A and B are shown apart, each in its own frame.
Chain A
Amino acid sequence: MAVVYEKTKLLTDKPLHYCPGCTHGIIHRLVAEAIDELGVQERTIGIAPVGCAVFAYDYFNCDMMEAAHGRAPAVATGCKRVNPNNIVFTYQGDGDLASIGAAEITHAATRGENITVIFVNNAIYGMTGGQMAPTTLPGQVTTTSPYGRDPALCGYPIRVSEMLATLDGSAYIARVSVHDVKHIMDAKKCIRKAFETQIAGKGFSLVEVLSSCPTNWGMTPKEALKWLEANMIPQYPLGVKKEVE
């Protein structure tokens, strides 16, 4: 018998601390598989964020660092510039990247830093208990928007991928989802492409992954993925937003 599918060696054996059905685990695996397939494990440095993925350094079998809230792109900039041969990625949630880290990500992109950013967008603050995030959908109920997000009061959600794609420094920007197997396969291709963009020295690459938060959305894992497909994808259209040849 031949192995059709097994856990990649780029993930450690430590059990993930994420809630049951949280898609962080899927995204971790896709990133790990991409690094494994490209054979760059020995020179890869990952930067963990603050948020649910704060312990990502325990799960990836490559060098990892932990950054202050939102500052992963700044730390990644240092790791890359000190030794441009390093393959550097950050793994950030929407609270980390789009709120407190909005300046860092925008300037890293506009400087064209040759790093890869994995941006996990689940439209809510997960770790802190389900507060409204910059990416929360209009009308979405969170602990700090109990009557639903009111754009007149709180503004509109930020489409990070489209925003960063307008900057001259960005080289590859894509938005993907992991709500079913087909989209997981597509997400894997885009994440791999982002790393290839960095290896080729083309500049800043980012993959935004639409993700679920069953616990803070108050749904079962299955319901959460259906809600993602029905509500998040219309707000955050999937696809490659920018690709520099």
Chain B
Amino acid sequence: MAKLTIARETCKGCGLCADVCPRQLLALSKEINSRGYHPIDITDQDKCIGCAFCARMCPDAVITVEK
């Protein structure tokens, strides 16, 4: 099992990570961060395989992946 940590305050909600997730586990949150963006959320942590595609795609380096 892998663990995803998202820096919600620096995420700009561009959604590029969601597009590259092979399991479509990422979606924009309904909440808004202090900069006015909807940060990305992982919908089902248990299904994450830790491939880190999301982290490599993220322009703002907000994702940390552990496995």
Contacts and interface: CB of A to CB of B under 8 A. Distances in A.
B19 interface: yes
Contacts of A29: 59, 61
B58 A4 contact: no
Contact of A2 (B10, B14, B20, B66): B66
A23 B62 CA distance: 14
B61 A3 contact: no
A20 interface: yes
Interface residues of A, number: 30
B52 to A, nearest CB: 4
A4 B59 contact: no
B59 A5 contact: no
Contact of A181 (B53, B60, B64): B53
A7 B37 contact: no
Contacts of A225: 16
Interface stretch (A11-19, A78-86, A125-133, A152-160): A11-19
24 contacts: A1-B3, A2-B66, A3-B65, A3-B66, A5-B63, A5-B65, A6-B64, A7-B62, A8-B61, A15-B9, A15-B60, A20-B12, A20-B13, A21-B14, A25-B58, A25-B59, A26-B57, A26-B58, A26-B59, A180-B20, A184-B57, A221-B14, A221-B15, A225-B16
Interface of A: 1-8, 11, 15-16, 18-26, 29, 180-181, 184-185, 214, 220-222, 225
